[in-house]
Amino acid sequence: MTRSTTATEAFEPEHAARLARDLSSKGAIRSPEWRRVFARVPRHLFVSSFVVRTPEGTVAYDEQTPGWLETVYSDATLITRFSAEGLAVSSSTEPSLMALMLEHLRLQDGMKVLEVGTGTGYNAALLSERLGSALVTSIDVDGVLVERARGALEAAGYRPGLAAVDGARGYPNNAPYQRILATCGLGRIPVSWLDQLDEGGLVLANVGLGMALLRKGADGHARGRFLPEAAGFMRLRSSFTPGVPTVSEVLSVTGGEAERVRVVEKVPGLDDHASSEFLLSLLLPYGLRVVQHRQEGQVHGVLDGASGSWMRVEVDHQGQVTVGERGDRHLWEAYTALLSGWEEAGRPEIGRYGLTIAPDGEHHLWLDHPQNTNTPLDGPETTG
């Protein structure tokens, strides 16, 4: 009796080498060091089973599924874990985005790195291949994921420091770090991360719908721009941060009776969904907007998960806007101030915006230079 060959047994180094060439041709890999790393790390050891989203729906793969190995070494996000509610909570991010982030970290030999969001462990393997396992620490709130990643990393020949802890705390045991990389979505960058970052060190994190690359200065502030590419990672799961409301919660709450109602003319910038959503994600780090298309026009429902305040913005076909609000936080005034500034600046791309984070954690948004339009996102200007 002959035993059938599994997809894992069919793996050849050429699979990883081909992925590295593909990422280089796309411009995601820009240096020979990272091309070598991607060509050496076996991604299939970290994703024995997963789900891929396609235009036709989701497709589940395991080692026995035809095309499993080819999909593993494609530039695709592989979802590996779902919550009880059916929400994706862990994945192996598309390699082109991983490569882009790793290139922007500007790693040098001897640097110590903290990764927040271990996930499958594949990214920790890439960092370990580049720097050596002893210089890499990776943390995740999910102990099951951490142990699964540990096994995959050891099978691939890597032994970075791993810990199952709340990512919002960072990991002071191995601090200070020269680089901090978050492979999860954030509303705000925790102060604890900046405390654990060396002066001159970089932190790269998905803040709202942008990728912020910040350097810590001698004054304790972290400053830097958003990358030109937008992104949206799975959210950091932490007991220290408010939850983001669900779509059903937004629809239910914003359908209620408003405390304040006003009718205004057409609002510049509201028509550009990508840019207005980016600005809203910074203003409301734990908020969600749901847009409904009706015969009479659009209805934008926005709920702030942190304060419970909400607004309902109804836009008819003539551009007239009716705003209803409820709660202590006056969202409309703060939001339209950001939209107006964006419009007056000539509708700048995301890469022209930047963040400054003070040692106390307050986030300031600016355009082109830290001294320009330095808007506190967490201060009194955003509350009524």
Phi, psi of 331 (to 5 degrees): -70, -40
**Token digits of residue 194:** 């900046």
CB 165 within 8 A of CB 171: yes
Give the residue from 157, 213, 167, 225 showing the smallest Cα distance to 193.
Answer: 167
The CA distance from 146 to 120, in Å, is: 8
90 is catalytic: yes
Of 140, 145, 115, nearest to 128 by C-alpha is: 115
The span from the CA of 292 to the CA of 194, in Å, is: 39
Residue 352, SS3 per DSSP = helix
Q: Cα separation of 66 and 26, whole Å?
A: 26
**Four-CA torsion 304, 306, 308, 312, nearest 10 degrees:** -10
C-alpha dihedral over 226, 232, 238, 244, to 10 degrees? 110
Q: Letter for the amino acid at 186?
A: L
Structure tokens at 56: 């036709």
Point out the catalytic residue in the list 48, 49, 74, 90: 90
Instruction: Check: CB of residue 296 under 8 Å from CB of residue 290.
Output: no
What is the helix (H) or strand (E) element at residue 72, kind and residue range? helix 68-72
CA–CA separation, 213 and 98 (whole Å): 14
Between CA 99 and CA 117 the distance in angstroms is: 16
Judge contact between 18 and 73, C-beta under 8 A. Answer: yes
Biggest CA-to-CA distance, the chain: 78
Q: Of how many residues is the chain composed?
A: 384
CA 47/CA 94 separation, integer angstroms: 13
Alpha-carbon dihedral angle through residues 227, 267, 324, 254, given to the nearest 10 degrees: -40
Comparing CA positions, the residue from 78, 20, 18 lying closest to residue 45 is: 78
Residues recognised as catalytic:
90
